[in-house]
Amino acid sequence: MKEIPDNIRNEIEVGKETNSIEFKASQGRDGLGEIPKDVYETVCAFSNRYGGNIYFGVQDDGTLLGISSERIKDMKKNFVTVIQSGQKISPPLYLDIDTYEIDGKNILHVFVPNSSQVHRMNGHIIFDRNNDSDIDITDNTNLVQQMYTRKQSEYTENKIYPYIQIEDFKHELIERIRKVSVNGDGESNLTDKTDLEVLKSLSMYRKDYLTGEVGFTLAGVLTFGKDEVIRGIIPYFAIDVLIRINDTERYDDRLRISTNLIDSYSEIMRFISKHISNPFYMQKDKRVEIRDVLFREIVVNMLVHREYSNPFVSRIDVENKNIVIENANKPVHPGKLKRGEIRPYPKNPNIARIFHMIGLIDEIGSGVGKIFDFAPVLLGGEPIIDNEDHFIVTLPITNKGLSNLSVNSKVKDLDISQYGLTEEQSQVLKILIEPMSTREIYELSDYKNKGNLNSYRKSVLNILLDNGLISRTIPDKPRSPKQKYFKSFRNE
């Protein structure tokens, strides 16, 4: 069971329903727990307005009632199945439902993001949110038109390109989504659908009811389009990643890409892994791939929340003292973001849904929280995040970080001559940019031409261990077959 976030606990403790908070007793006839039928009105209203949190097992005044443990699995399955089917809410939504425990009672929580689409319940009813009420506005022409206008102006990803054809998309990328999309029973719900039907179900082929235009959207092209199609409709789209560790005037290495967002993510992560190590790090007795987690959140945030009408080229600058990420932005809540004060707002919810489906987004707002959590551990400094017309993340690099960026700077300053290290021993400090086994280090060294693995361990690795320059990943079991070594010295 997940640890309950502070913001969720605080909303329940305040005990007040608002424009973005809804409590559902959800007790059922027997008092054990049941998904209430009127919750789908709230889901529809939240998605049409500004999003919000729904809590099952909580009374209207915030009193905790709880959900029986034996009902949780069925309730979660029923909710997800209905939401994703497209029969109750259309276009369908892809939402997660989480279980938390408060004061010994189980509650269920759903975060409904603000959607770029106008959603209808039972095929025709449009709900909007007003204070703590879900309002049926279907027959109010003015309010419905205002909603469509607001959605269109809020989300660049909705722009329709009527002359783009299904042949302009990469089938293999759509196939990837087809395989990971499952219903409440764990079965693929897109298996028998054509590529066009898949994109329609993802709201990437739509009709603008104000202009009458029908076609594929910018979100669809950016996510699944062929490179020449992307260049044809937004020729300015590019991402620049620069490594400026030694050559600070130009760069040591550079990646410039302008391909679909799914492949862009993979290429950037591969490039980052060439230059930044993934040091050994434990959190609550569990190994965390700290570099991958941190930069996954940074890169996904850059791709999913960019303002694509802005021609600014997104950048990642890796320097000696800072890593700076800069992205085109349309801020909803401008200003500096602070730890624990993050108000989630999806800039491109249809694109975000794809990254959620392939497992790269947990929930809206969680990514920035992980940047605050893991950047100080990997790089040493507290992140500075400016949410203005450009979204700028500055990650300071200090001696307190575990990454090879700070370690490499320490190696330059560290007087290793005081240890009397041999050439082979010094070489290990250059090779060991991430945890490695004895054999992995040995295979990369020049020592393999001089002696065997056992003598290498005794005359090279053991000396470094004795001097505190490297450490074991499993210190309590020195002979463990899973044993690896990592650099542990500090330049205090």
The alpha-helical segments, DSSP class H, found in 86-226 are 141-154, 171-180, 195-201, 218-224
- pLDDT for 245 equals 87
**For residues 61-82, average pLDDT:** 92
Last residue within a domain, chosen from 179, 211, 233: 233
pLDDT digits (tens, 9 = 90+) for 339-349: 876 665 667 88
Whether residue 40 lies inside any domain: the answer is yes
pLDDT band at 407 (very low <50, low <70, confident <90, very high): very low
- pLDDT for 487 equals 76
Question: For residue 40, which amino acid is it?
Answer: Y
Question: 4 vs 7, 92, 93, 373, 429, CA distance in Å?
Answer: 9, 27, 24, 16, 41
Whether residue 319 lies inside any domain: the answer is yes
Query: Is the predicted pLDDT of residue 255 greater than 80, yes or no?
Result: yes
Percent of the chain with pLDDT over 70: 90
pLDDT band at 480 (very low <50, low <70, confident <90, very high): confident
Q: 313 and 379 share a domain?
A: yes
Provide the domain count of the chain. Answer: 4
Q: 290 and 346 share a domain?
A: yes
Q: 227 and 281 share a domain?
A: no
Structural domain range at position 186? 156-233
Query: Is the predicted pLDDT of residue 410 greater than 60, yes or no?
Result: no
- pLDDT for 492 equals 35
**For residues 20-46, average pLDDT:** 94
Whether residue 416 lies inside any domain: the answer is no
Region label for 123, one of left (φ > 0), alpha (ψ between -120 and 50) or beta (otherwise): left
- pLDDT for 197 equals 93
> How many other C-beta atoms can be found within 10 angstroms of the C-beta atom of residue 476?
6
- pLDDT for 488 equals 67
pLDDT band at 409 (very low <50, low <70, confident <90, very high): very low
The dihedral over CA atoms of 255, 433, 266, 240, expressed in degrees to the nearest 10, equals -20
Question: Is residue 147 a contact partner of residue 155, using CB atoms and an 8 Å limit?
Answer: no
Whether residue 414 lies inside any domain: the answer is no
**For residues 199-225, average pLDDT:** 91
**For residues 255-284, average pLDDT:** 89
Query: Is the predicted pLDDT of residue 435 greater than 80, yes or no?
Result: no
Q: 97 and 217 share a domain?
A: no
Q: How far apart are CA 448 and CA 459, in angstroms?
A: 13
Mean pLDDT of the chain: 85
pLDDT band at 404 (very low <50, low <70, confident <90, very high): low
How do beta strands 52-56 and 21-24 pair? parallel
CA atoms within 13 A on the CB side of 187: 6
Query: Is the predicted pLDDT of residue 22 greater than 90, yes or no?
Result: yes
Whether residue 183 lies inside any domain: the answer is yes
CATH (domain of 16): 3.30.950
Q: How far apart are CA 105 and CA 65, in angstroms?
A: 7
